[in-house]
């Protein structure tokens, strides 16, 4: 198993400088978060203040506005959110201080069974998790390669060195065996990773118990990036409770949104207090402005926390809806024999933040799978349907070209073959029907020659 790019820089500084110069330290993940095309008025959704109007909601979902674009993941808000936001506004707590912040933290803590700190973004949460783990300049942090860049960027913020490890083909998340191998290889060079960052991508839980065991055996702090996975479970336990800290995101395209925001779940009240202090410029508890350690302006605003609480009250319905969307895609498209949908192994409850599939065959002899995936995306686009390729692995990103890594074939295949389909919890039945019909048409006799079936991903992947 080749270990490529073994030239580990002495510190992560070079990465940070390059990121700054290229302007690549962006936030948000590029998934569309446009307004609901109906302005949110005539599409009541269970759990958004329209609860109890299931019939009306269903009826509204059946009607598809002509000419509207079907988006990947749009905010799903209603009267409850509007009222909560306006109440916070009227209270004049228009600040990063206010009662709604503590309330939202407590509600998340009750759900997770861990103390929580409300922050300005999931990226900020990941950054402070690394600081909690004691990551400093020059340290190595093992990170899942197959993810959105926000998982890895905070490693550079601390001028540490990301070491990217490939995914396993079942959950598409961090491969526990490869993780162990990476730790062994680093040990042979006299190094010990300061932290491991594992992701629950697209809301499908990673094999986090195995990953946690590997980390515990080597006494390495485990950070869970659960940005896409609020509401997911592993054997009845919420994701975000297996490591030393877990980050959640509430940006505009997530399962619940605060427009922008994040939450860090930690193990103890003392850790939560440290994180809270760091997020408010590390101000000491005295009247004058006294600072003994570096701080950040990472606190969530009271207005957005109020929005967060209102959204959290509808989480179960939103997750149920995304899961139902994933199930319908699978049910109606699996029969084509061309698409292989991401599925959570038994005992795991995925949120299916986005419904994702791998294109397993070209439409005609000689058509590469990647070509076919791109043609499918172009076909969907022409029909007014938004889709995206799966995340481009970090080890393929120019930003991280010098970073060490282990494996890569699995995430490269996922990137080459995969796409995400519209998955908003406010997606109407008719809109999903239109997406399904467009895909059926694309793979139908009109558009296809003889299928050259490929094996399932992983079967043909050599690591
Ligand atoms: C996997 C993953 N990690 C981290 C983040 C960062 O969250 P935020 O956009 O709230 O900073 C996101 C979402 O954008 C994400 O999808």
- Secondary structure, 3-state, 149-217: HHHCHHHHHCCCEEEEECECCCCCCECHHHHHHHHHHHHHCCCCCCEEEEECHHHCCCCHHHHHHHHHH
Phi-psi region of 193 (alpha: psi -120 to 50; beta: other; left: phi over 0): beta
Distance of alpha carbon 435 from alpha carbon 441, whole angstroms: 10
Query: Which residues' Cβ are closer than 6 Å to ligand 1?
Result: 27-29, 121-123, 147-148, 150-151, 199, 225, 227-228, 249, 251, 262
Phi-psi region of 388 (alpha: psi -120 to 50; beta: other; left: phi over 0): beta
Token pair, residue 169, equals 């083909």
Token pair, residue 119, equals 């922050």
- Ligand 1, residues 154, 251, 390, 392: which to mutate, most atoms within 8 A of Cβ? 251
Token pair, residue 45, equals 């959704």
- C-alpha of residue 154 to centroid of ligand 1, in Å: 11
- Ligand 1, residues 148, 239, 261, 391: which to mutate, most atoms within 8 A of Cβ? 148
Q: Which of 167, 186, 183, 164 is nearest to 175 (CA)?
A: 167
What dotted CATH number matches 82-312?
3.40.640.10
In tens digits, what is the pLDDT along the chain, a chain of 463 residues? Answer: 233 332 323 323 233 222 222 222 223 454 554 443 333 333 333 232 333 333 333 344 444 455 689 999 999 999 999 999 999 999 999 999 999 999 999 999 999 999 999 999 999 999 999 999 999 999 999 999 999 999 999 999 999 999 999 999 999 999 999 999 999 999 999 999 999 999 999 999 999 999 999 999 999 999 999 999 999 999 999 999 999 999 999 999 999 999 999 999 999 999 999 999 999 999 999 999 999 999 999 999 999 999 999 999 999 999 999 999 999 999 999 999 999 999 999 999 999 999 999 999 888 888 899 999 999 999 999 999 999 999 999 999 999 999 999 999 999 999 999 999 999 999 999 999 999 999 999 998 777 654 444 444 443 333 2
Q: Judging by DSSP bridges, how do beta strands 195-199 and 140-144 pair with one another?
A: parallel
E strand spans, 252-336: 262-266
**Location of structure tokens 């580990």:** 8
- C-alpha of residue 360 to centroid of ligand 1, in Å: 28
**Location of structure tokens 């803590």:** 109
- C-alpha of residue 254 to centroid of ligand 1, in Å: 9
Q: DSSP state, 394?
A: G
Q: DSSP state, 401?
A: T
**pTM of the full predicted structure?**
0.86
Ligand 1 atom index nearest CA of 123: 11
Domain spans of the chain, in order of start = 65-76+315-453, 82-312
Token pair, residue 154, equals 């905070």
User: Domain 65-76+315-453 maps to which CATH number in 3.90.1150.10, 3.40.50.1100, 3.30.365.10, 3.40.718.10?
Assistant: 3.90.1150.10
- Ligand 1, residues 227, 308, 311, 390: which to mutate, most atoms within 8 A of Cβ? 227
């Amino acid at each position: 198993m080749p270990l490529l790019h073994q030239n580990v820089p002495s510190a992560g500084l070079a990465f940070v400088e390059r990121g700054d110069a290229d302007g690549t330290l962006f936030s948000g993940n590029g998934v569309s978060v446009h307004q609901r095309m109906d302005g949110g008025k005539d599409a009541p959704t269970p759990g958004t203040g329209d609860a109890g109007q299931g019939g009306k909601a269903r009826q509204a979902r059946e009607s598809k506005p002509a000419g509207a674009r079907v988006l990947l993941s749009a905010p799903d808000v209603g009267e409850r959110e509007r009222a909560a936001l306006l109440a916070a506004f009227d209270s004049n707590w228009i600040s990063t201080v206010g009662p709604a912040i503590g309330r939202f933290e407590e509600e998340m803590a009750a759900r997770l069974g861990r103390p929580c700190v409300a922050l300005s973004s999931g990226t900020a949460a990941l950054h402070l998790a690394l600081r909690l783990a004691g990551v400093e300049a020059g340290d190595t942090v093992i990170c899942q390669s197959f993810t959105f860049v926000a998982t890895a960027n905070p490693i550079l913020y601390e001028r540490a060195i990301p070491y990217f490890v490939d995914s396993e083909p079942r959950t598409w998340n961090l491969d526990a065996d490869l993780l162990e191998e990476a730790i062994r290889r680093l040990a042979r060079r006299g190094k010990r990773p300061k932290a491991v960052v594992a992701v629950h991508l697209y809301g499908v839980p990673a094999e986090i118990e195995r990953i946690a065991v590997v980390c515990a055996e080597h006494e390495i702090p485990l950070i869970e990036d659960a940005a896409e996975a609020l509401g997911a479970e592993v054997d009845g336990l919420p994701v975000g409770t297996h490591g030393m800290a877990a980050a959640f995101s509430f940006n505009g395209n997530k399962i619940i949104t605060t427009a922008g925001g994040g939450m860090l779940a930690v193990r103890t009240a003392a850790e939560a207090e440290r994180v809270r202090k760091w997020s408010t410029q590390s101000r000491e508890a005295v009247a004058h402005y006294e600072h003994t350690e570096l701080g950040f302006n990472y606190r969530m605003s009271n207005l957005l926390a109020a929005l967060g609480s209102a959204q959290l009250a509808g989480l179960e319905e939103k997750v149920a809806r995304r899961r139902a969307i994933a199930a319908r895609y699978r049910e109606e498209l699996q029969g084509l024999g061309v698409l292989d949908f991401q599925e959570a192994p038994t005992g795991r409850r995925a949120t299916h933040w986005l419904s994702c599939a791998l294109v397993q065959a070209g439409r005609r002899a000689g058509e590469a799978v990647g070509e076919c995936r791109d043609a499918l995306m172009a076909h969907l686009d022409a029909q007014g349907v938004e889709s995206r390729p799966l995340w481009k692995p970090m080890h393929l990103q120019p930003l991280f070209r010098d970073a060490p890594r282990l494996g890569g074939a699995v995430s490269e295949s996922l990137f080459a073959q995969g796409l995400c389909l519209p998955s908003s919890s406010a997606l109407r039945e008719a809109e999903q029907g239109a997406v399904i019909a467009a895909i059926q048409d694309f793979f139908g006799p009109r558009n296809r020659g003889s299928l050259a079936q490929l094996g399932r991903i992983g079967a043909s992947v050599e690591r």
